[in-house]
A and B are shown apart, each in its own frame.
Chain A
């Protein structure tokens, strides 16, 4: 309401001007209090070249001295800034809107208009007036009673209408370009772009809208890195005001990739480009590794362990952990390559229970993890879901949910072998299958006990109350019992070919039987060859 009232007041105070050099845009409320970033944009709205020396610019009644002998061509913009180049690391126009190398016009972002002019002026946020006079006649005038939002410029509606309104460009300013509030015939814009993950495949989506006055067809959206265009999509006929969502499948190298989206050239350039960081094929660099949601006994602190699986240091600033109901924990700090970082609810309590552990961080706020059903989502600083884990129960006696680090792609989680888990160390776990099926792997299937050979049996089982594993001969007699309705079992164990009573057994094929309560039993053959 306040903004609307302000806009109305601003509009009423503006005077209509004829088409000559006009004040077209000005940034009063500079970004981040960098006062050197205040600037004024002039525009030659006539069909003739105009000598700027014939004009006088007043700010709050004080004249602003401009460089003489500046001739503006028809349709040309010129920027008047307080400081063009940076000195002593002070923020300046070329530093903010260019490449900060002390030279104007050597990069694409600086070539859109001639070198800005420096002048001694100040635009006061609370109120002010700017006037442009030619031959003592006011040709352009703007009064303001509020400097607007931080980094958002005021733009003139068009050359015929001197109404000034806040910029609606995504960057907040359009120095050297047609104003964002000025209607043009052909104007497709990239409104927004985001990344989604479907079945471990990332897709880049972008909303393209027609902000122009006329329908646009035969346009395209290109996506690529700064040096290469890797894909493009055709945009169907869009009428004025219509929006179309474009989707790209992302397969860029590395953990992250900086991409740029470009629309086909139209009447407004400023909304045709969109920069963003997207996940690469190696993504994510940091994942969830171990979770203890149900501390008991002398341990009272919940904790979550992360691991950096990339080959470089990762800053966790602006990363987040979000639970099933949307509670957010903000993260900070760094995590070294191939190292763990343990996020703890209470650092003091954690350190009392676990001795000699480094790489511990206590976030500013901690969201209590449910002991029953819970979802933990790790979100990176770009808002991309880096990893997530969902469990239906937690374990008693300080057993953690641990991830199989030798098989990261399969996302196998299970109960930690030892009470307390392995925060800051490699995980040891009894894998638990999440899809209600058990997997038994026996290697080798053939072996010779007299030659001191044995078989290794690896079990990935669903999480249930008890497990049974036996070996039977071909008559159905029990030869060996590994577990009999046992609550916790190792994920890997060996068989040396002996019976429970230590006797050798004859050459033959034997049946390995595994049952996790309530699931379909598994039968596998094992052959004793000698």
Chain B
């Protein structure tokens, strides 16, 4: 435990929090599956799942069919019963125009039906040749509670952050409440609300329909900006492939494809 704390404190000096996009941005309109463990979601939210395993996830998404908003990421999570450690790398934008290279680290600890987590994230901002790179770090915390088939989580992103330059804005602190209600074994309802200074609150809803043991369908909507999402996942042995999309009336479609790989370890 002391060892992990030292790592996080070291990282906090050089890293910065950032929006780290997952496939769930499109297909689930920003909702996160709380009842299960995915590599990417573990970087933001604590995990309650048991077992000893390693997860990998990589993905690509293009927002609004606009290449300057492209995002490529890879993430990995190591879970050892009550302790979860995650690391993720992402690149947003286009090199030599505007890009964000993001590193995200997280750790969470589970106690019975509760868990608490902390995440450190950092980004390097790259511009064209006329501007030097910038770096920024932030720290966020999260908690998760389970009541029977209902999960509720609270995430505070960018709780502590550094300034890019002396006169730059700090990122706004974001308060997000996530929930998931599992109805039987083949349907989950998800909800999310996010509050941020100077912005309208954002509500989003999603449902996951399990078609069978191998495949799921996602349907979702988000209020601001109003978008509708959907997706489909299919599992090939230990590899899960997720294709998802969302549609915004003015800016058009966003697409995402992600690959999950789960490696179970001996208890």
Contacts and interface: CB of A to CB of B under 8 A. Distances in A.
Interface of A: 445-446, 450, 470, 472, 474-478, 501, 503-509, 511, 513, 521, 523, 525, 527, 529-530
A511 B251 contact: yes
A327 B234 CA distance: 72
A477 B250 CA distance: 11
A513 B250 contact: yes
B211 to A, nearest CB: 29
Interface stretch (B108-116, B163-171, B258-266): B163-171
A129 B40 CA distance: 115
A440 to B, nearest CB: 14
A299 B59 CA distance: 65
Given A446-B128, A530-B165, A477 B199 contact: yes
Q: Which 4 residue pairs across A and B have the least CB separation, nearest first?
A: A525-B68, A476-B225, A509-B98, A527-B98
Given A513-B251, A527-B127, A507 B97 contact: no
Contacts of B66: 511, 523, 525
Interface string B6-43: 00000000000001000000000000000000000000
Given A504-B169, A509-B93, A530-B165, A476 B64 contact: yes
A509 B131 contact: no
A507 B251 contact: no
Contacts, number: 77
B131 A446 contact: yes
Nearest to B226: A476
A504 B251 CA distance: 23
16 contacts: A450-B165, A472-B64, A472-B225, A474-B63, A476-B63, A476-B227, A477-B199, A477-B225, A507-B125, A509-B68, A523-B64, A527-B127, A530-B131, A530-B164, A530-B165, A530-B168
A476 B248 contact: yes
A286 to B, nearest CB: 44
Contacts of A509: 68-69, 93, 97-98
B214 interface: no
A446 B125 CA distance: 13
B82 to A, nearest CB: 34
B167 A450 contact: yes
Interface in B118-144: 125, 127-128, 130-131, 134
Contacts of A504: 169
Given A509-B93, A509-B98, A513-B250, A478 B168 contact: no
B148 interface: no
Q: How large is the interface on B (under 10, 10 to 19, 20 to 34, 35 or more residues)?
A: 20 to 34
Contacts of B19: 474-475
A511 B68 contact: yes
Contacts of A521: 250
Interface string B245-262: 000101100000000000
A493 to B, nearest CB: 20
A507 B225 contact: no
Interface string B222-234: 0011010000000
A466 B160 CA distance: 45
A512 to B, nearest CB: 10
Contacts of A523: 64-66, 251
B237 interface: no
Contacts of A474: 19, 63, 69, 92
B185 interface: no
A506 B168 contact: yes
B212 interface: no
| Residue of B98, B125, B134 most packed against chain A (CB within 10 A) | B98
Nearest to A505: B169
Contacts of A511: 64, 66, 68-69, 251
Interface string B64-85: 1110110000000000000000
A245 to B, nearest CB: 52
Nearest to B246: A476
Given A472-B64, A501-B198, A511-B69, 18 more contacts: A446-B128, A446-B130, A450-B165, A474-B92, A475-B19, A476-B225, A477-B224, A478-B225, A504-B169, A507-B164, A507-B168, A508-B98, A509-B68, A509-B98, A523-B66, A523-B251, A525-B97, A530-B167
Contacts of B130: 446
A475 B167 contact: no
Nearest to A451: B167
A523 to B, nearest CB: 5
B169 A475 contact: no
Given A503-B198, A525-B68, A475 B97 contact: no
Contacts of A508: 98, 100
A472 B169 CA distance: 18
A507 B100 CA distance: 11
A529 B127 contact: yes
Contacts of A530: 131, 134, 164-165, 167-168
